[in-house]
Amino acid sequence: MRLDNMLLAEGVSGPEKRGRGGPAAIAATSGGCPNDNSIEHSDYRAKLSQIRQIYHSELEKYEQACSEFTTHVMNLLREQSRTRPISPKEIERMVNIIHGKFSTIQMQLKQSTCEAVMILRSRFLDARRKRRNFSKQATEVLNEYFYSHLSNPYPSEEAKEELAKKGGITVSQVSNWFGNKRIRYKKNMGKFQEEANIYAAKTAVDATNVVAQGNQASSPPTPNSGEYRKAVFKMELVFSATE
């Protein structure tokens, strides 16, 4: 009966439900707007419900066939009972045999449904972790923003959307990228120096704007606000630069 449990867990059998607690729900963790994966997820859900539908219609078909066949056999037995005596035991035995046959067929159906679900999952959900490097365009856009806002590399939600659109990636990918970039840049600035120079030369424009804005915003940097962290980031940069 493990198959039953699995199908139930996958939402194939049992009542209709959306958004299970499985890996599908994890996709939107840090800085992840759930909408980012909605395309993928709706696709996944569509396929799952397709499997579900097939499973249920097949199941129904089998059940119907089973009962039809049973009544058919019963009729035959009744016919035969005219020519020879048939005990109720014998009838019961026949019925049991028929039900046994159909239940093995059902088992096979469940098994193949399970397989289909597994394949679907590996296709969609595990693909999450399949890493693809961003396009040149995307990294270009992201780096440009990062190095031109080096004093405050924290794009606003709007800026992230803009970058996402320009780079052809999702907003949460932008968030991931900036998260990785900040930490890795801070870890060893030396490695990024060349890159920094390239992009600084490219757009040495609004640095002053950002500084002005940053100063204005951080005038009362409440320890709890994001401004506080940003200020810390700046200071740490200054410290590591003087070493």
Measured CA to CA, the distance from residue 243 to residue 231 in angstroms comes to 19
Residue 196 engages DNA in binding (rule: CB under 7 A): no
For residue 215, give both structure tokens: 């100063």
Residue 132 binds to DNA (criterion: CB under 7 A): yes
Q: Are 170 and 164 in contact (CB under 8 A)?
A: yes
Closer CB to DNA, 25 or 204, in the complex: 25
The CB-side HSE value for 64 (13 A sphere, CA atoms) comes to 6
Sole window of 9-17, 30-38, 94-102, 201-209 interacting with DNA (rule: CB under 7 A):
30-38
Does 191 engage in binding with DNA (CB under 7 A)? yes
Answer for which of 49, 70, 106, 176 binds DNA (CB under 7 A) is 176
Tell me: does residue 2 bind DNA (CB under 7 A).
Answer: no
Residue 44 as a binder of DNA (CB under 7 A): the answer is no
Query: What does DSSP assign to residue 36?
Result: G
Q: Does 179 bind DNA (CB under 7 A)?
A: yes
The answer to whether 101 contacts DNA (rule: CB under 7 A) is no
Closest CB 192 distance from DNA, rounded Å: 8
Start-end of H helices in the chain:
2-9, 23-26, 38-83, 88-124, 136-148, 157-167, 171-187, 189-202, 207-217, 226-242
CA distance linking residue 63 with residue 82, whole number of Å: 29
Cβ burial of 55 (10 Å; 0-12, 13-18, 19+) is: buried
Q: Which of 129, 158, 194, 216 binds DNA (CB under 7 A)?
A: 129
Q: Closer to DNA by CB, 93 or 184: give it.
A: 184
97 or 238: whose CB is closer to DNA?
Answer: 238
Size of the site for DNA (CB under 7 A): 34
165 makes contact with DNA (CB under 7 A): no
Q: Give me the sign of the Cα torsion angle 170, 172, 173, 177.
A: positive
**Shortest CB 197 distance to DNA, Å:** 16
Told to check if 213 binds DNA by CB under 7 A, we report: no
The CA-atom distances, in angstroms, between 204 and each of 146, 197, 198, 216 are 12, 10, 10, 20
> Is residue 229 part of the contact set for DNA (CB under 7 A)?
yes
Interaction site with DNA (CB under 7 A): 23, 26-27, 29-32, 128-134, 139, 154, 173, 175-180, 182-184, 186, 191, 223-224, 226, 228-229, 233
